[in-house]
Structure 1
Amino acid sequence: MNPQDLDKLVTRTMPFGKYAGRLLADLPGPYLHWFAREGFPDGELGRLLALMHHIDHNGLKPLLDPLRGPR
């Protein structure tokens, strides 16, 4: 993991699906778990979703709070 990835989680939005337009950091746990079961997309999006799943699964979402806010 690189620190820029954490910033991407609070600034990038989901580009497709049921939660299109929602920040990656705000995706619900069951949705992330579904990807973990079914397979993450290829490329950067899949890597970021896997990281967000790891963060959510381990109860670390509050660590992203200081990264949120006006840019």
Structure 2
Amino acid sequence: MQTQDLQRLVTTRMPFGKYQGRILADLPSHYLGWFARQGFPNNDIGHLLALMYEIDHNGLNELLAPLRRHD
């Protein structure tokens, strides 16, 4: 994990699927769990989804709160 990956979780939008357009940090737990069971894509988005799954699964979502933009 790179430090900037956490920032990317709160700024990158899901590029495909049922939740296309949603910020990765806002994806529902069940959707992240589905990827964990089916397999994450073998690319940059897959890496970020796997990281978000680990954060969500371990109840660490609040770590991302200070990184969110409050425009």
Shorter-chain TM-score bucket reads over 0.9
Question: Does 1:11 find its partner at 2:6?
Answer: no
Structure 1, unaligned runs of 5 or more: none
Q: Distance in 1 between matches of 2:70 and 2:31?
A: 27
Q: What's 2:66 paired with? A: 66
Runs of 4+ in 1 over 3 A off after TM superposition: none
Q: TM-score, normalised by structure 1?
A: 0.96
Report the Cα offset of residue 70 of structure 1: 4.6
Aligned residues: 71
Report the Cα offset of residue 21 of structure 1: 0.2
Q: Identity over aligned residues, as a percent?
A: 65
Give the RMSD, CA atoms, in angstroms: 1.1
Q: TM-score, normalised by structure 2?
A: 0.96
**Counterpart residue identity of residue 32, structure 1:** L
